[in-house]
Amino acid sequence: MPSPMTLTEQILAKAAGRDHVAANDNIWVNVDVLMTHDVCGPGTIGIFKQHFGQDAKVWDREKVVIIPDHYIFTADKMANRNVDVLRAFAAEQNLPYYYDVGTDRYKGVCHIALPEEGHTRPGEILLGTDSHTCTAGAFGQFATGVGNTDAGFVMGTGKTWLKVPPTMRFVFHGNLPPYLMAKDLILAVIGDIGVDGATYRAMEFDGDGVFALNIEERMTLCNMAIEAGGKNGIIPADAVTRAYVDERGKKTGSKPYTMFAPQAGAKYIFEKVYDVTKMEPVIAKPHSPDNKATVRSVQGTKLDRAYIGSCTGGKLTDFRAAAGILKGHSVKIDTFVVPATTEVARGLDTEMIGGVSLRDIFLKAGAKIGDASCAACLGGPSDTFGRLNTPISCISTTNRNFPGRMGHKEAQVFLASPLTVAASALTGMIEDPRGYVV
């Protein structure tokens, strides 16, 4: 009798055409979507052409998604050249899902653009040349980052070879207090198990505390699985998932999909249960996402800058939270707001708090608002919006705080939720949001 399978194992078994797989099995799987962007796209394309031929065609033009997003609004010639390579390849291959810069199709951060444009579906395999591709695990699919060589092979064949990861299970119970967000939950997990605690393992998130989260908060939870070394983060699909996917899927033809749930008796190599009602705001101190502390314990630490954006912290949910704190107040330090996508950017004008748009709240508070992109999350050229060009101290909603990640190698980066970042922007010091959340 085959042993019960975890959520990740069931998805991989389906993709491998098998009835059953188990942790550490080596299998070939069929890939449903391959995504690449301006940083890794040129390298992936080069490898594809080197091994399949200069005139080769991708295995399925409907399944290759190219989203320039990292180094976009810059005068840097090499960064601009990368986008030129993507543009030429998309034209050569006649790819329908290329979201070009400088057009109405431009989107912004790939990990948020993928679900917005209907490319994420439960039960599928999504590979991307970016470590935070695991964000899409929020939709009940196996999503993980791959290198250029693997991506080049997938581009030509639609298949990849991988080892089935063992699964770790993280269960959150209780009603989330208004001063906590998904960012606090995942920083707590990473702090508990370390940046290598989930190396080549699936991180499955479950519990009523998880299913009470909206889809954007679930994306934040899965997004940072990679910061614990995870192969993928994943949440079982439910009615919330289905509603989002069915609506967005109309853009790509409403493709059928399969919703899996973990089978009773499935084996987990690790399990940890959290009561969210007993948790408090969490921060990651420099220079590692697992350098965990409670916000309260470092309250009063001087800051030079606040940054609200990225695939982790640049969604409408994140901006609503931050704007709720900033409304009617003024920031004391340079505060940068960067919407993840153009859709989110439009939402800054349509989403209101007390009859005032989010955009007006940020501007009246003294914040600077940038164009939709990754911006300073990955540092980038020196003219990148919000980049840390000097050794200053910054509190940020982004996902990594390694030396040099946001620019200057001696800059100090603290990772926190949008609530904590907004509260800190008001005082110029690390601030516990519990004194500001109504």
Mean pLDDT of 356-364: 98
Q: What percent of the chain has pLDDT over 90?
A: 99
- Tens digits of residue pLDDT in 175-215: 999 999 999 999 999 999 999 999 999 999 999 999 999 99
Task: Assess whether pLDDT exceeds 80 at residue 421.
Answer: yes
Q: Which domains are present in the chain? A: 7-251+267-272 (3.30.499.10), 284-435 (3.30.499.10)
Place of tokens 């309260």: 296
Q: Is the dihedral of CA 211, 124, 9, 270 positive or negative?
A: negative
What is the C-alpha separation between 405 and 287, in angstroms, rounded? Answer: 10
Task: Assess whether pLDDT exceeds 70 at residue 438.
Answer: no
Count the alpha carbons within 13 Å of 115 in the hemisphere toward its beta carbon.
27
Mean pLDDT of 229-233: 98
- Tens digits of residue pLDDT in 239-288: 999 999 999 999 999 999 999 999 999 999 999 999 999 999 999 999 99
Backbone angles phi, psi at 126, to 5 degrees: -115, 125
Cα-Cα-Cα-Cα dihedral of 326, 327, 329, 335, to 10°? Answer: 40
Is it true that the peptide bond before 287 is cis, omega within 30 degrees of 0? yes
Mean pLDDT of 85-94: 98
- Tens digits of residue pLDDT in 19-66: 999 999 999 999 999 999 999 999 999 999 999 999 999 999 999 999
Nearest to 130 by CA among 109, 115, 116: 109
C-alpha of 165 from chain center:
20
pLDDT, position 2: 86
pLDDT, position 196: 98
Task: Assess whether pLDDT exceeds 90 at residue 97.
Answer: yes
- Tens digits of residue pLDDT in 121-151: 999 999 999 999 999 999 999 999 999 999 9
Task: Assess whether pLDDT exceeds 80 at residue 1.
Answer: no
Task: Assess whether pLDDT exceeds 70 at residue 362.
Answer: yes
Q: How many helices (H) and strands (E) does the chain have?
A: 14, 19
Asked if residue 314 lies in contact with residue 340, where contact means CB atoms within 8 angstroms, the answer is yes
- Tell me whether residue 42 is exposed, middle or buried, using C-beta atoms within 10 angstroms of its C-beta: 0 to 12, 13 to 18, 19 or more: buried
Asked if residue 66 lies in contact with residue 36, where contact means CB atoms within 8 angstroms, the answer is yes
The pLDDT mean for the chain works out to 97
- 55 contact partners, CB below 8 Å, separation of at least 6: none
Other C-beta atoms lying within 10 Å of the C-beta of residue 64:
24
C-alpha of 233 from chain center:
11
Asked if residue 204 lies in contact with residue 262, where contact means CB atoms within 8 angstroms, the answer is yes
DSSP conformation class of 381: S
Q: What percent of the chain has pLDDT over 70?
A: 100
Mean pLDDT of 101-125: 98
* pTM exceeds 0.95, yes or no: yes
Other C-beta atoms lying within 10 Å of the C-beta of residue 69:
27
